[in-house]
Structure 1
């Protein structure tokens, strides 16, 4: 069973479905109920996805046995820093290594773009995500933003030319 991870336009059909699934899950967890299609549409409106393309960022899609199963984005913050966002693995594919491959792909991309640090924020209830980041060398750091859903902040220093992971 194999994973592939490759850059993909954030507005491709499969990327758009993955982003909907991501938003539906994080919103549903936050609200304690399933998000409606209308709520998902509203949440995706003006969500900054345009930043997930050159020159301001990147977006990757992970496929498991050819099926679109995961996604993640990268936004360039400054000359040294990029931020991970929308890291998502569909529930049926969790535990198969896809999350680590998403991180590795975006770490490699960040290095290629001259960034030496990756950072992200996440919420208390996204336990699987926090575990994934810790497993792959991300350390909790002091808050670097005041986002309404930011409750944990992580960062990882990227040494030039070292393998990700």
Structure 2
């Protein structure tokens, strides 16, 4: 156990040193990491002070000091929200926007340098995904999105690649009964994404029609997020949406090469039924009454 603890502490020291967490001038731009992170959050679209504070995990006192410092530098302005005067919002000034852009450039350069120093950059990325997802698991959000958006396409592409690797026959989406995007958009259905700090790490589709029966499609969770019960969360949310759309019965299909999927369905109340479509890939079929 002691060795495990020391490994974690060694990792913490390495990250602290690499990202410059103790530097008084993060990335050489004259302000510490805390101020730079607040500037970054505002630059990426977070404006309400309470939302920024929660996102960064800061207490109210520290948040106030960081905002005052950025205001004194002329990087930001703060004031009441036009929608609710009880809320404060922060916005970048022109100088703040320029500083944000420079931080983005330097941070991207730093990330490229980290990958370039290692002979197995993909292994580094996979390890980082695993750790970041584990540490941020309490902040994973499930959102609704158009399945034609880039984040959704990313998840679907990863899903298809995994089926290609795991199916003995391979997988060609053109031969599959791929649902129409409009069947997975309200009021017919929905497409859900699991998001971890703006990175899509899981998805599921609810393919609806004009009646009380719909299908669950394209359930996928990133390897970095497996074991965190994210598939169950996605399925539960899809079932909740189905109820709200007046759907009474859900069906899905899967392949025996995905035994963990079948185990999840059985555990959460799905019953195996006869084949209900002519898709060439599935060999197991399930139904659940809501």
TM-score, structure 2 length as denominator? 0.48
State the 1:46 CA deviation: 9.1
Counterpart of 2:227 in structure 1 is 95
Given that 1:23 and 1:44 are in contact with CA atoms closer than 8 Å, whether structure 2 keeps it comes out as no
Counterpart of 1:47 in structure 2 is 178
Match of 2:152 among 5, 8, 15: 15
Counterpart of 1:57 in structure 2 is 189
Q: Which has the higher helix share?
A: 2
State the 1:101 CA deviation: 0.6
Structure 2 gap ranges (5+)? 1-136
Instruction: Tell which has more relative contact order, 1 or 2 (C-alpha 8 A, sep 6+).
Output: 1
Taking structure 1 as reference, are residues 119 and 46 closer, same or farther at Cα in structure 2, changes over 3 Å only? closer
Match of 2:264 among 129, 132, 136: 132
State the 1:56 CA deviation: 3.0
**Corresponding residue SS for 2:167:** helix
Q: Distance in 1 between matches of 2:229 and 2:161?
A: 22
Q: Distance in 1 between matches of 2:217 and 2:239?
A: 12
> Computing the radius of gyration over CA atoms, which structure comes out larger, 1 or 2?
2
For the aligned residue pairs, the C-alpha RMSD in angstroms reads: 2.4
Given that 2:185 and 2:191 are in contact with CA atoms closer than 8 Å, whether structure 1 keeps it comes out as yes
Counterpart of 1:85 in structure 2 is 217
Taking structure 1 as reference, are residues 127 and 79 closer, same or farther at Cα in structure 2, changes over 3 Å only? same
Give the total of aligned pairs: 152
Could you list the per-position Cα deviations for residues 73-114 of structure 1 after superposition, in whole angstroms to 9, with x for gaps in the alignment?
Answer: 011145221100000001121110110011011100100000
Match of 1:114 among 241, 246, 254: 246
Counterpart of 2:283 in structure 1 is 151
Structure 1 gap ranges (5+)? 159-165
Q: Distance in 2 between matches of 1:44 and 1:64?
A: 32
Q: Which has the higher strand share?
A: 1
